[in-house]
Amino acid sequence: MTYTARDDRYDRMIYRRCGASGLMLPAISLGLWHNFGHDTPHATKQAICRAAFDHGITHFDLANNYGPPAGTAEEAFGDILKTDFRLHRDELIISSKAGYHMWNGPYGEWGSRKYLVASCDQSLKRMGLDYVDIFYSHRFDPDTPLAETMGALDTIVRSGRALYAGISSYNAQRTREAAAILKELGTPCVIHQPSYNILNRWVETDGLKDTLRDLGIGSIAFIPLAQGILTKKYLNGIPQGSRATQGKSLDLSVVEKALGSVRKLNEMAEARGQTLAQMSLAWVLRGGGITSALIGASSAAQVEDCAGAIANLDFTAEELARIDAISEEKDINLWAKSSSD
Protein backbone atom coordinates (compact mmCIF):
# COMPACT_ATOMS: atom_id res chain seq x y z
CA MET A 1 0.00 0.00 0.00
CA THR A 2 1.41 3.37 -1.04
CA TYR A 3 2.17 5.70 1.86
CA THR A 4 0.92 9.28 1.85
CA ALA A 5 2.07 11.45 4.75
CA ARG A 6 -0.51 13.38 6.77
CA ASP A 7 -0.88 16.99 5.71
CA ASP A 8 -1.18 18.14 9.34
CA ARG A 9 1.94 16.34 10.60
CA TYR A 10 3.83 19.50 11.50
CA ASP A 11 0.90 20.78 13.53
CA ARG A 12 1.15 17.65 15.71
CA MET A 13 4.70 18.24 17.00
CA ILE A 14 6.78 21.02 18.51
CA TYR A 15 10.32 21.78 17.35
CA ARG A 16 13.25 23.12 19.33
CA ARG A 17 16.49 24.74 18.30
CA CYS A 18 19.46 22.44 18.82
CA GLY A 19 21.76 24.51 21.04
CA ALA A 20 23.17 27.56 19.28
CA SER A 21 22.89 26.00 15.83
CA GLY A 22 20.30 26.58 13.14
CA LEU A 23 19.11 22.97 13.38
CA MET A 24 15.59 22.38 14.68
CA LEU A 25 14.67 19.00 16.17
CA PRO A 26 11.27 17.57 17.08
CA ALA A 27 10.71 17.32 20.84
CA ILE A 28 10.23 13.57 20.29
CA SER A 29 12.62 11.67 18.01
CA LEU A 30 12.58 8.02 16.97
CA GLY A 31 15.50 5.71 17.67
CA LEU A 32 15.99 2.46 15.77
CA TRP A 33 18.18 0.74 18.37
CA HIS A 34 15.67 -2.05 18.99
CA ASN A 35 12.94 -3.59 16.82
CA PHE A 36 14.59 -2.80 13.49
CA GLY A 37 16.68 -5.92 12.99
CA HIS A 38 15.87 -9.34 11.59
CA ASP A 39 13.88 -10.15 14.74
CA THR A 40 11.05 -7.80 13.69
CA PRO A 41 8.81 -8.07 10.61
CA HIS A 42 9.50 -5.36 8.04
CA ALA A 43 5.83 -4.35 7.99
CA THR A 44 6.09 -3.51 11.70
CA LYS A 45 9.17 -1.36 11.13
CA GLN A 46 7.41 0.41 8.30
CA ALA A 47 4.31 1.08 10.40
CA ILE A 48 6.45 2.52 13.22
CA CYS A 49 8.26 4.91 10.87
CA ARG A 50 5.05 5.98 9.15
CA ALA A 51 3.37 6.69 12.49
CA ALA A 52 6.37 8.72 13.59
CA PHE A 53 6.44 10.92 10.50
CA ASP A 54 2.66 11.36 10.60
CA HIS A 55 3.09 12.79 14.12
CA GLY A 56 5.73 15.25 12.98
CA ILE A 57 8.67 13.17 14.17
CA THR A 58 11.23 14.11 11.56
CA HIS A 59 14.36 12.78 13.28
CA PHE A 60 15.34 9.12 12.87
CA ASP A 61 18.37 8.02 14.88
CA LEU A 62 20.50 5.01 13.95
CA ALA A 63 23.97 3.57 14.50
CA ASN A 64 26.18 1.21 12.56
CA ASN A 65 25.70 -1.65 15.05
CA TYR A 66 21.90 -1.51 15.43
CA GLY A 67 20.11 -4.72 14.52
CA PRO A 68 20.37 -7.61 15.16
CA PRO A 69 22.54 -8.46 13.40
CA ALA A 70 24.61 -5.30 13.29
CA GLY A 71 23.87 -3.13 10.27
CA THR A 72 20.38 -4.43 9.60
CA ALA A 73 18.56 -1.48 11.16
CA GLU A 74 20.25 0.83 8.66
CA GLU A 75 19.42 -1.56 5.83
CA ALA A 76 15.75 -1.69 6.88
CA PHE A 77 15.55 2.08 7.18
CA GLY A 78 17.18 2.41 3.77
CA ASP A 79 14.38 0.31 2.32
CA ILE A 80 11.76 2.47 4.06
CA LEU A 81 13.42 5.59 2.69
CA LYS A 82 13.00 4.21 -0.82
CA THR A 83 9.42 3.03 -0.47
CA ASP A 84 7.87 5.62 1.86
CA PHE A 85 10.09 8.66 2.37
CA ARG A 86 11.70 9.06 -1.06
CA LEU A 87 9.96 12.40 -1.60
CA HIS A 88 10.59 13.57 1.97
CA ARG A 89 14.38 13.26 2.37
CA ASP A 90 14.83 17.00 2.84
CA GLU A 91 12.22 16.97 5.61
CA LEU A 92 14.15 14.37 7.60
CA ILE A 93 17.04 14.46 10.05
CA ILE A 94 18.85 11.12 9.79
CA SER A 95 21.71 10.35 12.14
CA SER A 96 24.17 7.52 12.58
CA LYS A 97 27.07 6.74 14.89
CA ALA A 98 30.21 4.67 15.28
CA GLY A 99 32.04 3.59 18.41
CA TYR A 100 30.88 0.12 19.40
CA HIS A 101 32.04 -3.18 17.93
CA MET A 102 31.04 -3.54 14.29
CA TRP A 103 33.57 -5.85 12.61
CA ASN A 104 36.46 -8.03 13.69
CA GLY A 105 40.04 -6.90 13.91
CA PRO A 106 41.71 -3.81 15.39
CA TYR A 107 39.80 -1.30 13.21
CA GLY A 108 36.23 -2.39 13.97
CA GLU A 109 35.32 -0.31 17.03
CA TRP A 110 36.20 2.65 19.30
CA GLY A 111 37.33 6.03 18.00
CA SER A 112 40.15 5.87 15.48
CA ARG A 113 39.99 7.88 12.26
CA LYS A 114 40.23 4.59 10.36
CA TYR A 115 37.13 3.18 12.06
CA LEU A 116 34.92 6.28 12.08
CA VAL A 117 35.42 7.24 8.44
CA ALA A 118 35.07 3.66 7.17
CA SER A 119 32.01 3.12 9.33
CA CYS A 120 30.34 6.28 8.05
CA ASP A 121 30.91 5.14 4.47
CA GLN A 122 29.37 1.75 5.27
CA SER A 123 26.34 3.36 6.94
CA LEU A 124 25.71 5.58 3.92
CA LYS A 125 25.84 2.57 1.63
CA ARG A 126 23.43 0.56 3.79
CA MET A 127 20.89 3.38 3.83
CA GLY A 128 21.41 4.41 0.22
CA LEU A 129 22.25 7.99 1.21
CA ASP A 130 24.73 10.57 -0.02
CA TYR A 131 24.98 12.04 3.47
CA VAL A 132 23.57 11.79 6.98
CA ASP A 133 22.46 14.89 8.81
CA ILE A 134 24.30 14.06 12.04
CA PHE A 135 27.22 11.72 12.62
CA TYR A 136 28.29 10.90 16.18
CA SER A 137 31.24 9.50 18.02
CA HIS A 138 29.15 6.89 19.85
CA ARG A 139 31.41 6.70 22.91
CA PHE A 140 34.62 8.16 24.28
CA ASP A 141 37.71 6.11 23.46
CA PRO A 142 40.26 6.23 26.31
CA ASP A 143 43.03 4.78 24.12
CA THR A 144 42.77 7.03 21.06
CA PRO A 145 43.79 10.71 21.21
CA LEU A 146 40.64 12.79 21.43
CA ALA A 147 42.08 15.05 18.73
CA GLU A 148 42.09 12.08 16.33
CA THR A 149 38.48 11.16 17.03
CA MET A 150 37.29 14.75 16.69
CA GLY A 151 39.48 15.19 13.61
CA ALA A 152 37.67 12.24 12.04
CA LEU A 153 34.31 13.92 12.71
CA ASP A 154 35.67 17.09 11.12
CA THR A 155 36.74 15.11 8.05
CA ILE A 156 33.34 13.44 7.80
CA VAL A 157 31.56 16.81 7.85
CA ARG A 158 33.99 18.61 5.54
CA SER A 159 33.84 15.78 3.02
CA GLY A 160 30.05 16.08 2.81
CA ARG A 161 29.34 12.73 4.44
CA ALA A 162 27.46 14.50 7.27
CA LEU A 163 26.07 17.98 7.89
CA TYR A 164 26.65 18.10 11.65
CA ALA A 165 28.96 16.45 14.20
CA GLY A 166 27.90 15.09 17.57
CA ILE A 167 29.10 13.00 20.49
CA SER A 168 27.35 10.49 22.75
CA SER A 169 27.87 9.48 26.40
CA TYR A 170 30.86 11.80 26.95
CA ASN A 171 30.97 13.24 30.47
CA ALA A 172 31.16 16.97 31.17
CA GLN A 173 34.97 17.18 31.17
CA ARG A 174 35.42 15.19 27.97
CA THR A 175 32.60 17.15 26.34
CA ARG A 176 34.37 20.43 27.02
CA GLU A 177 37.61 19.01 25.61
CA ALA A 178 35.91 17.58 22.52
CA ALA A 179 33.95 20.78 21.86
CA ALA A 180 37.11 22.88 22.12
CA ILE A 181 38.90 20.71 19.55
CA LEU A 182 35.98 20.81 17.13
CA LYS A 183 35.61 24.57 17.53
CA GLU A 184 39.29 25.02 16.69
CA LEU A 185 38.84 22.83 13.61
CA GLY A 186 35.85 24.89 12.50
CA THR A 187 33.30 22.09 12.79
CA PRO A 188 31.32 22.78 15.98
CA CYS A 189 29.88 20.07 18.16
CA VAL A 190 26.18 20.63 17.56
CA ILE A 191 24.62 17.88 19.68
CA HIS A 192 25.26 15.48 22.54
CA GLN A 193 23.33 12.24 23.08
CA PRO A 194 23.42 11.12 26.74
CA SER A 195 21.26 8.65 28.60
CA TYR A 196 18.79 10.50 30.85
CA ASN A 197 15.51 9.73 32.60
CA ILE A 198 13.78 10.01 35.96
CA LEU A 199 15.74 7.01 37.25
CA ASN A 200 19.06 7.99 35.64
CA ARG A 201 20.21 11.53 36.38
CA TRP A 202 23.95 11.36 35.80
CA VAL A 203 23.80 14.31 33.40
CA GLU A 204 22.76 16.45 36.36
CA THR A 205 25.19 15.12 38.97
CA ASP A 206 28.08 15.11 36.49
CA GLY A 207 27.29 18.66 35.40
CA LEU A 208 26.86 17.67 31.75
CA LYS A 209 23.44 19.27 31.40
CA ASP A 210 24.81 22.62 32.57
CA THR A 211 27.91 22.18 30.43
CA LEU A 212 25.85 21.72 27.28
CA ARG A 213 23.86 24.85 28.05
CA ASP A 214 27.04 26.85 28.68
CA LEU A 215 28.63 25.66 25.43
CA GLY A 216 25.52 26.12 23.30
CA ILE A 217 25.36 22.42 22.41
CA GLY A 218 22.00 20.77 21.86
CA SER A 219 21.01 17.49 23.48
CA ILE A 220 18.93 14.42 22.73
CA ALA A 221 18.29 12.07 25.62
CA PHE A 222 18.31 8.35 24.89
CA ILE A 223 16.43 5.78 27.00
CA PRO A 224 14.13 8.52 28.40
CA LEU A 225 11.75 5.71 29.40
CA ALA A 226 14.52 3.66 31.04
CA GLN A 227 14.20 0.96 28.37
CA GLY A 228 10.53 0.46 29.13
CA ILE A 229 10.68 0.61 32.94
CA LEU A 230 8.90 3.97 32.85
CA THR A 231 5.94 2.63 30.88
CA LYS A 232 2.91 0.54 31.76
CA LYS A 233 4.76 -2.62 30.71
CA TYR A 234 6.13 -3.41 34.18
CA LEU A 235 3.36 -2.04 36.42
CA ASN A 236 2.04 -5.50 37.23
CA GLY A 237 5.41 -7.21 37.43
CA ILE A 238 7.92 -8.40 34.88
CA PRO A 239 6.15 -10.03 31.91
CA GLN A 240 7.58 -13.03 30.11
CA GLY A 241 9.29 -12.11 26.88
CA SER A 242 10.16 -8.59 28.04
CA ARG A 243 13.63 -7.16 27.53
CA ALA A 244 14.39 -7.71 31.21
CA THR A 245 13.70 -11.46 31.02
CA GLN A 246 15.66 -11.80 27.78
CA GLY A 247 18.75 -10.09 29.11
CA LYS A 248 18.61 -7.53 26.29
CA SER A 249 20.59 -4.65 27.80
CA LEU A 250 18.24 -4.51 30.79
CA ASP A 251 19.13 -6.07 34.15
CA LEU A 252 16.24 -7.91 35.82
CA SER A 253 17.37 -6.75 39.28
CA VAL A 254 17.26 -3.10 38.14
CA VAL A 255 13.63 -3.46 37.10
CA GLU A 256 12.64 -5.20 40.33
CA LYS A 257 14.33 -2.49 42.40
CA ALA A 258 12.46 0.31 40.65
CA LEU A 259 8.94 -1.15 40.48
CA GLY A 260 7.68 0.43 43.72
CA SER A 261 8.67 3.89 42.57
CA VAL A 262 7.32 3.29 39.08
CA ARG A 263 3.85 2.45 40.39
CA LYS A 264 3.75 5.67 42.40
CA LEU A 265 4.92 7.64 39.38
CA ASN A 266 2.12 6.07 37.37
CA GLU A 267 -0.41 7.37 39.90
CA MET A 268 1.04 10.86 39.43
CA ALA A 269 0.80 10.53 35.65
CA GLU A 270 -2.85 9.52 35.85
CA ALA A 271 -3.56 12.56 38.03
CA ARG A 272 -1.97 14.73 35.30
CA GLY A 273 -4.11 13.08 32.63
CA GLN A 274 -1.09 11.40 31.05
CA THR A 275 0.25 7.92 30.63
CA LEU A 276 3.41 7.09 32.58
CA ALA A 277 5.41 7.20 29.34
CA GLN A 278 4.05 10.65 28.50
CA MET A 279 4.83 12.09 31.92
CA SER A 280 8.32 10.57 31.88
CA LEU A 281 9.05 12.13 28.50
CA ALA A 282 7.62 15.46 29.63
CA TRP A 283 9.92 15.35 32.67
CA VAL A 284 12.99 14.87 30.47
CA LEU A 285 11.89 17.77 28.26
CA ARG A 286 10.86 20.07 31.12
CA GLY A 287 12.20 23.61 31.09
CA GLY A 288 13.84 23.25 27.69
CA GLY A 289 17.10 21.87 29.09
CA ILE A 290 16.96 18.87 26.75
CA THR A 291 16.29 19.50 23.06
CA SER A 292 14.67 16.17 22.18
CA ALA A 293 13.71 12.87 23.81
CA LEU A 294 14.72 9.81 21.80
CA ILE A 295 12.12 7.07 22.03
CA GLY A 296 12.14 3.47 20.86
CA ALA A 297 8.96 1.68 19.84
CA SER A 298 7.75 -1.80 19.02
CA SER A 299 4.45 -0.63 17.49
CA ALA A 300 2.80 2.36 15.89
CA ALA A 301 0.56 2.65 18.96
CA GLN A 302 3.59 3.23 21.18
CA VAL A 303 4.77 6.03 18.89
CA GLU A 304 1.36 7.69 19.11
CA ASP A 305 1.34 7.41 22.90
CA CYS A 306 4.80 8.95 23.23
CA ALA A 307 4.06 11.75 20.78
CA GLY A 308 1.15 12.72 23.02
CA ALA A 309 3.62 13.83 25.70
CA ILE A 310 3.94 17.27 24.09
CA ALA A 311 0.38 18.12 25.12
CA ASN A 312 1.60 18.84 28.65
CA LEU A 313 5.30 19.54 29.25
CA ASP A 314 4.79 21.74 32.31
CA PHE A 315 5.20 20.74 35.96
CA THR A 316 4.45 22.58 39.14
CA ALA A 317 7.18 22.87 41.75
CA GLU A 318 5.14 20.54 43.93
CA GLU A 319 4.96 17.91 41.18
CA LEU A 320 8.71 18.02 40.59
CA ALA A 321 9.38 17.71 44.31
CA ARG A 322 6.99 14.76 44.49
CA ILE A 323 8.76 13.02 41.60
CA ASP A 324 12.09 13.54 43.36
CA ALA A 325 10.69 12.10 46.58
CA ILE A 326 9.21 9.09 44.83
CA SER A 327 12.22 8.33 42.67
CA GLU A 328 14.57 6.90 45.26
CA GLU A 329 16.51 5.10 42.51
CA LYS A 330 17.80 8.26 40.83
CA ASP A 331 21.21 6.74 40.11
CA ILE A 332 20.30 3.73 37.98
CA ASN A 333 22.72 4.45 35.15
CA LEU A 334 22.65 1.44 32.84
CA TRP A 335 25.27 3.17 30.72
CA ALA A 336 27.81 4.15 33.37
CA LYS A 337 30.53 2.05 31.74
CA SER A 338 29.93 3.79 28.41
CA SER A 339 30.25 7.29 29.85
CA SER A 340 33.82 8.51 30.11
CA ASP A 341 35.32 8.81 33.58
Delineate the domains of the chain, giving CATH numbers in brackets. 14-227+285-299 (3.20.20.100)
Percent of the chain with pLDDT over 70: 91
**Strand pairing of 93-98 and 15-17?**
unpaired
Q: Which are the contacts of 85, defined by CB distance < 8 A and separation ≥ 6?
A: 49, 53, 92
**pLDDT at residue 337 greater than cutoff 90:** no
Backbone phi and psi for residue 84, each to the nearest 5 degrees, phi listed first: -115, -40
Nearest of 4, 14, 115 to residue 58 by alpha carbon: 14
Across 62-76, 107-121, 223-237, 284-298, least confident range: 223-237
Largest Cα separation within the chain, whole Å, is 54
Report whether 242 contacts 233 (CB < 8 A). yes
Helix or strand or coil: residue 317?
A: helix
Nearest of 229, 237, 289, 223 to residue 265 by alpha carbon: 229
One-letter identity of residue 255: V
**Strand pairing of 218-222 and 292-295?**
parallel
**pLDDT at residue 248 greater than cutoff 90:** no
Mean pLDDT of 218-244: 84
What pLDDT score does 45 carry?
98
Report whether 32 contacts 62 (CB < 8 A). yes
Q: How far apart are CA 37 and CA 73, in angstroms?
A: 5
What pLDDT score does 145 carry?
98
With vertex at residue 173, the alpha carbon angle to CA 210 and CA 18, rounded to the nearest 5 degrees, is 45
Point out which residues pair with 72 in neighbouring strands. none
Nearest of 326, 335, 157, 311 to residue 258 by alpha carbon: 326
Q: Which are the contacts of 106, defined by CB distance < 8 A and separation ≥ 6?
A: none
Q: How confident is residue 250, by pLDDT bands cut at 50, 70 and 90?
A: low
**pLDDT at residue 177 greater than cutoff 80:** yes
pLDDT in tens, 129-163: 999 999 999 999 999 999 999 999 999 999 999 99
pTM above 0.85, yes or no: yes
Backbone phi and psi for residue 137, each to the nearest 5 degrees, phi listed first: -80, 115
| 3-state DSSP helix/strand/coil % of the chain, to nearest 5 | 45, 15, 40
From residue 313, alpha-carbon distances to 27, 83, 296, 318, 320 in Å are 10, 34, 19, 15, 12
Report whether 134 contacts 164 (CB < 8 A). yes
What pLDDT score does 258 carry?
82
Torsion of CA 296, 75, 96, 312, to 10 degrees: -30
pLDDT in tens, 184-212: 999 999 999 999 999 999 999 999 999 99
**Strand pairing of 24-26 and 15-17?**
antiparallel
